[in-house]
Chains A and B, each alone.
Chain A
């Protein structure tokens, strides 16, 4: 099967190659491009665009939380009638903002923006392929995402506002337009947008998986794959299994909303009317949603962890500690990610016995996660660390991963979750471990691979300042948020003044808001650096970080097809940094053992015999005949 598929692709490309000698027109080159590097940049720019909107939204609702009833009339030009006559934020719109913030950050920024950008950019470059298995599907994938973005963006301007039931859109609230303003047209568009989004991520995922399996260059065995690729690969598998479940959940919700079915609805009296629906279960939706929802947090986090592994090894000038354990823990986390979803549902009235099972499974995840953290730290131990901005963000990621991970162990304990569920403790936990950690991965990736993307360097000092401001800022926002949660403050509250038990901590809430504004402001350092360097940065050398992986063997700005001439063969794993005996402190993957007798380990010397043969085969190179 795969052989057939590959050979058709080869044919397709051979034909294409002939066209490519002519100049491509603007549309083909920049808009409907099938080149993985261009598509990666499209994902990146769209992701950054959404990140600015999503974070700006959080600043707006944080203002309301830090300064309840604050006068926001200065936002009237943007938000219009969502600012009431007295200048306060409309409570309906508060919920809409929270919902849109969550949806945008999780799906558009950290799924499409992060995984879309780097899976696309790095998979072909690091495994030694000319492009993705199907450039066309890849292009289609991006444009489905773009379409989904447009639909979501339009929903922001509806008269009744965008979806507003929280990013988890639990029915019946989301199913009944009469229950809530945000369940009217806004929810319809939310569901349409997500359906398009799911198609996009499936198209992307199939492509990543096929490419990794089929298009590796000669010598690039699975045990020589960089951890980035392992992470992208496993992420794609996770997405492929879990996104269709969200699709079905959304589909049933659409049926309930528009066609009078009762999948999620039963015994409801609303607005003076008893609805006819009987026998449905709102809990069913939650099971389906979290079957995606939990793997989703790993879908955003694993690519970040993969890139971090690569960046930490490169900049500590040391092999990643426990390469095999890192892969095993990725696999372990990925597997367990599918069997812990109901830890989000301990207090939904689910059978308590199920709660016990899910507590047990959830706490097991701590083990592979801890292994990863320890391995990162040991990689730093006795290294020779270079603090590029990418390295700083990677170390920051490890710190956040641990700090956010430990509170997950508390929340995974069903007995403790009774009090903490749906409080700010949860908000603090997932922002650190998923939001901030993955965002740090995104930054690390951009700083590290910017030279490969644009052939220019980003400003190093500005990157470092950006890191420290963001790192400190994130802790200042989310660390105190745990305190608010331990005190029992519920989330998705427009204000806390209604309750006596939530009257305290007004100053702390104010502090968090100020820290959030500070952190948001710091991101403009990055934006400036990013766009300025794209055009005016110093030109990049071939291998600026003295790294081992294949992408640095391409021209400074790789053209279509990535390598001029043949794709290099791979002879060793990607982590031969500071190998005893070697003259340099790195040995790229393309250097055969026969060329490094001084540093070979005994079992490596044995491999020399096979190398000659390896250099001669040429798998899957569609360009070989053309060039």
Chain B
């Protein structure tokens, strides 16, 4: 990394020196009349500058690429991610060729055809054949890109496979919350934004008149998923726009209040495997927010843990249900549950009010987000 700066700094320095040394020679002529052979002062010098800039620019482009490329597109951990990466580099190569070709021609012509005394420019107003050719070439290239892009896009946006693990993720100022269907029915219960209440530990607005929500569990700082199993994210927001961004999974989708969105992907490298692969024992997959949502937008970090099914099951079974947290904070919440379901709900009431880590966490998260405002 430090090399990159060194190199770019060097390029910068050389250019600065060129500019400054020019400046001196130029300053001498600042108030002089235009030199005899030149239509404007320093014409020749400026012609040369194009070539100098071209050469330095090419060197800078190539050097900086090699110096910086380790950080590009963090190792993809999902099949669709590898596919879009390939497509990205393919398009990038095409674009790099056009970028270089056009700029080289532009800079070269500027130098080559600079004013020379006695020269006359060629009167060359058009050439239909040429124009047709260079309309056709980009058209064909675009067609290829549209075609490959379209296929990838429709595959990525297709319906999630049936065996997917369904996880709900909700954005709020300022953090993510995830919810799982629970160990008993593995089904997400209904929610209603009007039932959201941070004070009773129901920040996602679970609707307990739907018994599917009784065993739902949620978490404010970790999402656990099973390696190799498709994950179907159900995405929502409860206050303003947010956007789920999982860089290593190539996942990004806005979270919109009032309009649930979705995205599915298959994580196929476990956290441990990635740690080994990258040689970074502290590595973690992360979930970020990419839609500006206020003061804490830059700090909505959530960890994503990709593990095997056994560890996932273990983790899942250790999580308290949302309902138990609610009943612990506010025992008489039970009166708001329909009568016919109360008996079942009571099973989730904590036997003895013990200190519970999730409750504590949820509590602090709510408090701190209020404080951030």
Contacts and interface: CB of A to CB of B under 8 A. Distances in A.
Contact of B258 (A92, A267, A476, A494): A267
Given A319-B125, A498-B299, A406 B256 contact: no
B359 interface: no
Interface stretch (B217-225, B239-247, B305-313, B329-337): B239-247
Interface size class of A (residues with CB under 8 A): 35 or more
Contacts of A476: 8, 11-12, 15
A267 B193 CA distance: 6
B294 interface: yes
A415 B73 contact: no
A179 B294 contact: yes
B40 interface: yes
B12 to A, nearest CB: 6
Given A385-B114, A387-B47, A468-B19, A179 B239 contact: yes
Nearest to A400: B103
A407 B15 CA distance: 25
A280 B258 contact: yes
A249 to B, nearest CB: 15
A498 B116 contact: no
Interface stretch (A133-141, A208-216, A355-363, A434-442): A355-363
A184 to B, nearest CB: 12
B281 interface: no
A170 B22 CA distance: 47
A453 B19 CA distance: 29
A384 B113 contact: yes
A561 to B, nearest CB: 32
A483 B70 CA distance: 10
A383 B121 contact: yes
Most B C-beta atoms less than 10 A away, residue of A370, A392, A479: A370
Interface string B91-125: 11001101100110111011001111001111111
A499 B105 contact: no
B103 A402 contact: yes
A269 interface: yes
A575 interface: yes
A491 B288 CA distance: 12
A380 B110 contact: yes
A367 B193 contact: no
Interface stretch (B142-150, B181-189, B345-353): B142-150
A318 B124 contact: yes
A95 B121 contact: no
Interface string A405-448: 01101100111101101110000000000000000000000000
Contacts of B160: none
Contacts of A471: 53
B113 A410 contact: no
Contacts of A320: 125
A323 B122 contact: no
Given A507-B2, A508-B5, A409 B145 contact: yes
B127 to A, nearest CB: 8
A409 B95 contact: yes
Given A387-B40, A387-B46, A377 B102 contact: yes
Contacts of B149: 359, 413-416
Contacts of A323: 125-126
A266 B259 contact: yes
Interface stretch (B26-34, B161-169, B208-216, B318-326): B26-34
A434 to B, nearest CB: 17
Contacts of A402: 98-99, 102-103, 106
B239 A172 contact: yes
Interface in B261-299: 261-262, 282-284, 286, 288-299
Contact of B173 (A92, A179, A316): A179
B301 interface: yes
Interface in B354-369: none
A317 B286 contact: no
19 contacts: A95-B297, A281-B258, A321-B126, A323-B126, A367-B138, A374-B134, A384-B119, A409-B142, A418-B252, A421-B252, A465-B19, A468-B22, A468-B53, A471-B53, A486-B72, A487-B71, A490-B288, A500-B286, A507-B5
Given A377-B109, A406-B95, A490-B290, 11 more contacts: A179-B173, A360-B150, A381-B113, A398-B106, A414-B153, A476-B8, A480-B8, A480-B68, A487-B73, A496-B298, A498-B299
Interface of B: 1-2, 4-5, 8-9, 11-12, 15-16, 18-19, 22-23, 26-27, 29-30, 34, 39-43, 46-47, 49-50, 53, 57, 60-61, 64, 68, 71-74, 81, 84, 87-88, 91-92, 95-96, 98-99, 102-103, 105-107, 109-110, 113-116, 119-127, 130-131, 134-135, 137-139, 142, 145-146, 149-150, 152-154, 156-157, 173, 193-194, 196, 198-199, 205, 235, 238-241, 243, 245, 247-248, 250-254, 256-262, 282-284, 286, 288-299, 301, 370, 373
List the 7 closest pairs (A to B, CB-CB), nearest first: A266-B258, A349-B261, A352-B157, A387-B46, A507-B5, A415-B152, A406-B95
